[in-house]
Structure 1
Amino acid sequence: MPRLEIRLFGPPEITVDGAVVTPDTRKAVALLAYLAVNAPTGQPRHRRDALATLLWPDADQSHARSLLRRTLFSLTHTIPADTLVVARETIAFSGKQPVWIDVQDFEASIDECRRHDHGEQTVCPHCLPALRNAADLYRGDFMAGFTLRDSANFDDWQFFQAENLRRQAAHVFERLVQGLTVQHDYMTAVGYARRWLQLDPLHEPAHRALMQLYAWAGQTSAAVRQYRDCVRILDEELGAPPLPETTELYQAISENRYPTPSQPVYQAPPVHLAKRQPAAPAVPALIGRQAEWAALLAAYGSIHEEGRLVVLEGEAGIGKSYLAEAFLAQMRLRGATTCAVTCYEGEGALAYAPLMDALRQALAIPEASVRLAGLAPQWLAEAARLVTELATLYPQLPAPLPADSVGAHSRFLEGVAHVLGSLLAGPAPGLLFIDDLHWADTASLELLAYLVRRLRSHPLCVLVAWRSAAAGPPAHLQQLVADAQRNHTATLIHLERWERNAVQAFVAQAPLPGTPSSALTDRLFQETEGLPLLVAEYLAMLAGSDLTPDAVWQIPPTVRDLFQARLSRLDQVATQVLGAAAVIGRSFDFDTVRAASGRSEDETVAAIEELLRHNLVHEAPPIHHGSIVYDFVHEQLRALAYDDMSLARRRLLHGRVADVLHHQVRRAGSNAGVVAALLAYHAERAGRNDEAAAAYALAGERARQIFANRTALAHFQAALALGHADQTGLLIAIGDLQTLLGEYRNALASYRQAAESSSSSTPVQIEYKLGLLYHRLGEWKAAGEHFQTALAQASAADELSLASAIRADWALTAYRQGDMAWATTLAAQALATAEAAGDPPALAQAHNVLGILARSRGDAEQAIHHAAESLALTRRQEQLDAQIAALNNLALAYAAAHLPVQAIGLLEEALTLCLRLGDRHREAALRSNLADLLHSAGHHEASMIQLKQAVTIFAQIGLEAGPENAEIWKLTEW
């Protein structure tokens, strides 16, 4: 019976009876490896759909299953027959053929040691053979050098398997060193210690073990060389000296007074992460906040069919977060589903970051699947753009429409609003809390504004907090709150500093020695001026002292000095880990800070425990499965720790964080844009401009896909400034975004730069885009010149659909110039070319222009015919922008035919669609046209409302374009 052996440590190797066999494809190797690790004999079978999604995530389910069938055919003809049981829906090992897998043998050897009658940190003589076997099996990292470039899901699985097995191997080598040292087999132990150190050259316990082993073996010079290697590596990688215990061991070896061999080389204590023990009493939320609490209860109690926006504003340290958290806790007792997220300084370029956190929190509630059961699949598919967990939970979701399709942005916002509203629904109104909103990215603010405008149909409480100091929140958010207040759907609560009686109440609850005196309250109130954060921090400093109110308090008068005094208590390792965390940002995860600091897992755990004890960081609530996350208790603490480091060390740490993020981008899924933006930020600050430029470009593309246009624009501009290789492509993308945002002059400059940077003649797309932009600006001659050049290029390339579109737009420009004959000729040519191409969108555009020309000649019948034909075509093709144009022009044709009722109805429909699309210039034109018709019909008040809104929008666009572009105000048809 043939024997199959699968070796996955190091490069994958498959043998049958000792002969190496090679499957036809890498996917076959990946499939066998996945089954070998996750589905050995006796384990549950794997479903075909899950395996197809793992290996071909970008293919539709039918195509992925077909590819899986071909891969299985190749694999089953490479390995012995009957090795696998391949059923219609599942795949598994059969158990009929002998199969040996090195990973299983490796883990079995470790498990054998665990079954011995002693603790895991002890090494008995019976452990050594099993540990030696495990060490011999580990011939390299799991599947080293193997990757599937088109399957991020498999790469993600492979990465975490490799990391887990690497940690187990390090533990094996460490225990072998311990066991062999007890037997005085020092040189054999040296070999395993070197392998231990190869896994992590920055791991000082391994360096110390080697130093001791060399000393015990009588090789003092080798021990000294090992210490010097340790010093060199730590200096090059971390810019830091060895730990004191490493230096002390070196001095002891140099002075021939090192420990005797009977003492163990290194025995790590069991790892237990301590829970946070606050150094200062938390600020009780209701001290001095009775009126604000009553306002919160009243606002929440007013929610029935309509939701409510509640704003907490005040200066930094005033207690907004504490008040909100206490309120959320109280509402949870009433049955409300709550969700709390925070925006962070420096993350304004991370599109939708707080809303993604909110969705993930909400998806973690037990009732999530029930609450989403009745939601339309298209809304779930839209929200899955932000959080891939939805696609995992609902694998049969339809694919969302492309990000650049018409109306896709509105559908995306609506989908996220539906999903979030459904997840927070329950027996009591749900509650979404967003803290530090003044640091939110523009895309999140846009989505929040969209949700708040629809609170009339969502019984939801949206609670936000922002700082009122300095510039305050963005102007458009202030306007949104003002509008909501006028509609009686918003409550604004301003928090003031504590009065003396509130400080006294807080002092009375503090764990101070003895009974707090009135003089202590007076002194605290004088020093803090009633700012709750400072009151708490001063009391934290006093809690362990016997200072009296009239003594000289050794407390700096500013927050910076106060935080510096707390930082000075940390030991060397904790200070290094804190510095790495400060570079990462306000919020940081365990794995990244460990990698960035260069410290071992044990050292990082001990350092974080110290930071928790000193109340410098706290554990953040879990959002999803993964690394433990921590937050600095105050942004000023993070800023101080960052500023205290030298520029050289900051650059080194930024580079190490960038290295970590570089490996995370491909596995980030829907978070790839966020991770890429962080990678760009850190790479730029590490002086790695090429890497930063590439990451900014990737972040911009992902932001554009989820309609975060301003965020995408900022990323593309940053990539351009850092010298990205594709200057032309970036400039075109920037021009496209500026056009969407109505920044016409900036868009023109970007397209011109793109044309100048192109290695060949100006591409037809740029010429066409320039023509369209000049048309929007009313610069007819320039528009016509660009259309003429673009048409020549499109015709030469035999691009009929593009040529038809250019002719149609050029016809409209000629009409606006007063050249009716040329406009008519171009429109007829556009129709003929569209018919030859058989392209419905081009046909719709040609009929639309022909309708405009017919109406201008006074031929209402032909105008109605062409506009109606255009509208029918656009409805079938779901072209939102073309449909708006056809509705507008058909309405104007009906008005010319003295049919005002039909015309008003069509314009109202066009305006509704235009508001979804977000084209402000054309929205203004539609409102102006509607105002004229309403006035003619005698609806003067309604007419004036539309006219005022139109004038406001025209003024905003005209101001940016400049006074020379008066044609912007004259737009009526397009």
Structure 2
Amino acid sequence: MARLVLHLFGTPRIELDHQPLAIQRRKGAALLAYLAVTQRPHHRDALATLLFPEYDQTGARKNLRRILSSLHGELNHAWLQIDRVSVALPPIAELWADVSHFHHLLVSTRRHDHAPEEACTPCLAALGEAAALYTDDFLRGFTLPDSPDFDDWQRSQSEQLRSELDDVLARLGWGHAAQGAHSIALDYARRRVVLDPLHEAAHRQLIHLYAHAGQPTAAHRQYAECVHMLQAELGLSPTQETDALVEAIKAGQTPSIGKQTTQHSPALIGSNQATASPPTLSTSEAGLPAFLTAQAPASVVDKIIFVARRQELAQLRGFLQRMLAGQGQVVFVTGEAGSGKTALLHEFARQAQEAVPDLIVATGVCNAYGGVGDPYLPFREIMAMITGDVDALWQAGAISRTQALRLWRLLPDAVEALLEHGPNMIGAFVSGSALARRAAAYPLTQGDWGGRLRAQLAQDNRAPRREPWGRGPDQNRIFEEYTQVLRTLAAARPLLLMLDDLHWADASSISLLFYLGRHLAGRRILIVGSYRPEDVALGWHGEPHPLSEVIHEFERQSGEICVSLHEASAEGRYFVDALLDVEPNRFDETFRQALFRHSGGHALFTTELLRDLQERRILIEDANGQWIASPHLDWQTLPARVEGVIARRIGRLDARLRETLTIASVEGEEFTAEVVARVQSLDERQLVQVLGSELDRRHHLVRAQEIRPLGARRLSLYRFRHHLFQKYLYDSLDPVERAYLHETVGATLENLHHDQPEQLALIAAQLARHFQAAGLAEKAIDYRLLAGQQAVKVSANQEALTHFQAGLALLNDLPDTPERARRELNLQVALGVPVTAMRGYAHPDVELVYTRARALCLQLGDVAQLFPALYGLWRMVMIRGQLRAAQTLSDELMDLARSAQDTELLLEACRATGSTALHLGELVTAHTLLEQGLALYDRQQHAAHAFLYGHDPAVSCLGYLAHTLWLLGYPDQAQEWRRQVLHLAEDLSHPLSLCHALVFGAAILHQLRREAPQVQELAQRGLDLATKHTFPLWINSGMILFGWALAEQGQTVAGIAHIRQATADWRATGAGTGIPHFLALLAEAYRRAGEVKTGLTVLAEAFAVVEQTGERWYEAELHRLHGELRWLAGADQAEVERLFQRAQTVAQQQQAKSLELRATVSLCRLWQAQGKTATAHVLLTEVYHWFTEGFDTADLQEARELLTALSLQAR
């Protein structure tokens, strides 16, 4: 595969296979940089909004498609991972970005076993490479003027990278000086000063290193430069620490590098920056950093146009008063986009801070770019502000000076609260290194909170890396700590926390909000959240928005908690004035009052009404460029509502154009010119001219979208400029007119696509909607089926579920006939795949679907559909652990396939019978059947099987074969099947099959081979993919294997927690298969942790499950583990010997040579301890020499080492 290299330090440069690559569109280069730095998939809508904020969502998506298409071609149709939901760059070695490698190098230095202020030789090499990578600031000179959010992100990244470079240069300076490389150390220190000439700590380090290198004159010269820079730029004098250092140099003392590093380098996470105590301010604002004593920047807050909503502010003040009296709670401000929610929050915060001198205000904002993929974003922002992260916000004018001062002065108490009640918050909700820098910039006038913070960070930096917060039981701890920190701070001063745009909040943030809301009683904490009701009402992926339940529960507890901005208040006049005064004008009071009277002060109504007045030239610009009202102004003829504005614009059209748009409105917000032309019996070319010249350029009601090829012809797609135009026209039709037009439009679309089945499938959902609205249930059902099948092909399981369920609901409109039953059968069989994927293989809904499908097959005598129905039932009982029932059903499948003499059915039957045999411990039979199935597989012929049966059959067979071959004693052959299964699954682009390959086909095999790092990597990949697509089975199994890998690598506590929780979650889905294996892994983890008794309890449960389910493929290992744990528990050695021999016997009965080898090694170790070395040597030699491959695996290496030891002892 070619290599893609992204140079993002400095002017962006891109190389493909060592050749410079010119990206034609700047936004294409911006997109590549964004994906490379963030290193995660992003929702297409979020990227469209980020890069094209000036367009509506449809226009933005269209432009994003163009960018993606252009990039795809420029990158030779590789690299970009694009689906209909998200876009990402693949996390593979062939993709290299300098920024990512910079961070990788920094992370590598944190893994060394030494204190963070020290720097070993490998550290210095990595840090030196990182410094060399930083050739200039991030994307220097590259901007997107029309994408301010991207520019904000770019600036933020650049500031963060500069800060990290400062840390790197500091560590390099101290590290090389400690090794006597003074010239190199001085070079890095000088570069650090150049990076930020106002950074006193950098000057002090250079002074120190000059002195240590025997250059006192240079040290004094550097001190003079430091004094000059600080005085000239900031009006400050150097700190006492810098002065003391210079005085020591004057006295002839040479400061020690080791001592200096220890004293002046706080233990920053990932940083050894030599940071000194803060500068002594020469202003009256003692205790404040320079940025709060400088001239105030232009305030963004002051620029917000606020509608003076006295009633709403009064409601919020009432909540504030109750909070000050100790009645803390959560309240909400609601309103549609553009209704003034954010402005109201800012004004309320300003007034509240004026009224309450010690009130602390902090804000967190949810955003559409991170969305649900950025856990706890608004609460992280709040915690950052509470802990003094106000520099950037102040400089940007996003917060007032009053708010910044209060937050800064809160820093000591906030750090104390974190150290006492929320140590796990550091690093999770607030950056430890950033917190240390802020603490270092704060005068430690009272207490030693700064020292305790440094000690905590040093301890955290040496401790094993904590797992990502927010998973499983860790979430409760996070919630408790966050709540306790807030409650501690609120005991001394009231807190006002504001959460903006909660409709974009991630699920974790909403859960934390709910937790906080239930623990605010008696506390002076008020949380005010804002959201758009219409967005919340839309829900998430077909499910209710999680915020809805939270709001309802808070309303149940507290009564009225919402301040609604749905209706424009009487004070909307203030909005009218502010909107008019955005541009120069000479509107008098009469005009202003009239506009307010007609618009009601509603933001959207007012804006649309003004636009209408301008388009009709009733508002004009005079010679000085100021807006005035024309002499022909007639308020009586103007509408008072947006519907009136639209009616007037539509009313200007003649009957022919109105008919055209009315027909278009039936097709939807986006419509097809050729469809409208056929319905109106017009020439298509003529209609396109009318749409372009009249309805687009003249009336500004529609706009051209794209030309879409359709076989030998093309379709011309247009879009209404505002969805309200389409809604107004559609709503103007009576129900009878709508039904007939939907039928006609649907039939026209159908006829246009009749000879293009693939294209027809793409519009199946649209056709289903039209025929359903027309009351034609049969056609609507057929297209619901087709739309759902199309969704399954792109793994859009939720959408498929919706279509199939809608089709089933439409069956109620049909009489009970064989044709109705056949339609239901097709829907039920198709429904099984997405239900299984979304809800788990063993879910009751899966049983209902396939049981109904089987009954319909028997009713109709449909043998063809009976097979997938039986297959679904087999898979369900198999996963539930009902292996005897699974065996019966798999035999039925085999009988059906053989009687039909159908190789496609025989392939699936072999898969079912072979995997069932494997779980029953019938390994030879399983191997034979799985190989037969694999031999029948043809990728082109059987590509559709993944969408009918849930997985690609070859992926499944290969995965099971890999396990079987390892068990039978062929680890190398098993590894080859693992390689093939991953290659095939990655090539298929079928997420469910890829999850099967990653977790079952590959990760479990590496677990069997005792290769923990590979298990962890593969399980994590499977987890990420399963989480993205909501595959509960693979989430849980992936987490179990991930936990085992952690435990094997020494993180036993975290590993055990993962295995226990995921096993419980696995069982909660109804799954029973795999439990003996998972419990064996848990018992292993307990053994590693030294919890022998608990391990034995777990094994007892595993044996009970084996007897209950008949799942015996791992039974021999259970007996061996039982023996190992009993031996550790001090049991009688005769008992231990019997357990090991029982493991041997079971393995021999199953011909599981790998497990027999393990059991034999355990038995021989026991005999070795008993002095029976000769007997042990004979037995182990016989078993070991049976193997013909896999001699580099852990089991065979361990056996060989034991053989060697026995041989020496036997002499």
Shared fold (TM-score greater than 0.5)? no
Greater relative contact order (Cα 8 A, min sep 6): structure 1 or 2?
Answer: 1
TM-score if structure 2 supplies the norm length? 0.30
